[in-house]
A = this chain, B = another copy of it.
């Protein structure tokens, strides 16, 4: 059975979700603030979290960070229409999907099913990402170029791993900084420039004209295959 943790401070929303989810065979846990949510998540290990961003005690984004510190369980964010900046932050922080309040129950259920499906099938994924110039083996944490292994420092690997786990996708500076250097270093985009330059020097055929480690000015970076 699938267990869902619902985190929201509005009782009527929690009630509505509990009724609908129970009726569809989910186990439902609830929490009305961030601290409780984090504790329940640790104790009960739900399969998926539905999280309202506007909590009374902790910022919703921090709750996501707190969860992402030890788990990759899917997180679906609920947010009001006007908080779109927050939504971006939430996704950067590691949320899987978001639903704008007010939401249709059908939509939420569909996204819930999709999130659970993704989480359960993800393990099968191919752990080797290949480009025309180099290959990244995510399972063994090794990079090869022209048959030879390329030595990367821990930080270099951390960056490349995130990009390789999102092949073709634009990854925001914030997410990269947060995942590699931690939440306190968000804003130090200079780090990214230095390390991307190093990665290019090691991996690109022509580092000054990168074909795979692409910069999207003002937004982030992308691993183009």
Contact = CB atoms under 8 A, between A and B. Distances in A.
A219 B156 CA distance: 11
B141 A216 contact: yes
A64 to B, nearest CB: 11
A153 to B, nearest CB: 7
Contact of A169 (B102, B119, B139, B218): B139
A141 B123 contact: no
Interface in A116-157: 119, 122-125, 139-142, 153-154, 157
Chain A interface residue bracket vs B: 35 or more
A111 B157 CA distance: 25
Nearest to A155: B218
Could you say how many copies of this chain the assembly holds?
Answer: 2
Contacts of A169: 139-141
Interface stretch (A52-60, A81-89, A200-208): A81-89
Given A139-B169, A170-B141, A153 B218 contact: yes
A162 B141 CA distance: 16
Given A69-B102, A141-B216, A82 B170 contact: no
A106 interface: yes
A219 to B, nearest CB: 5
A71 B141 contact: no
A104 interface: yes
B182 A102 contact: no
Given A68-B102, A72-B107, A82-B178, A219 B141 contact: yes
Contacts of A140: 168-170, 222
A217 B154 contact: yes
Contacts of A81: 94
Interface of A: 12, 68-73, 81-82, 84-85, 94, 100, 102-104, 106-107, 110-111, 114, 119, 122-125, 139-142, 153-154, 157, 162, 168-170, 178-179, 182, 216-219, 222
Given A104-B123, A106-B123, A110-B123, 7 more contacts: A12-B70, A69-B102, A72-B100, A72-B103, A107-B122, A142-B170, A153-B217
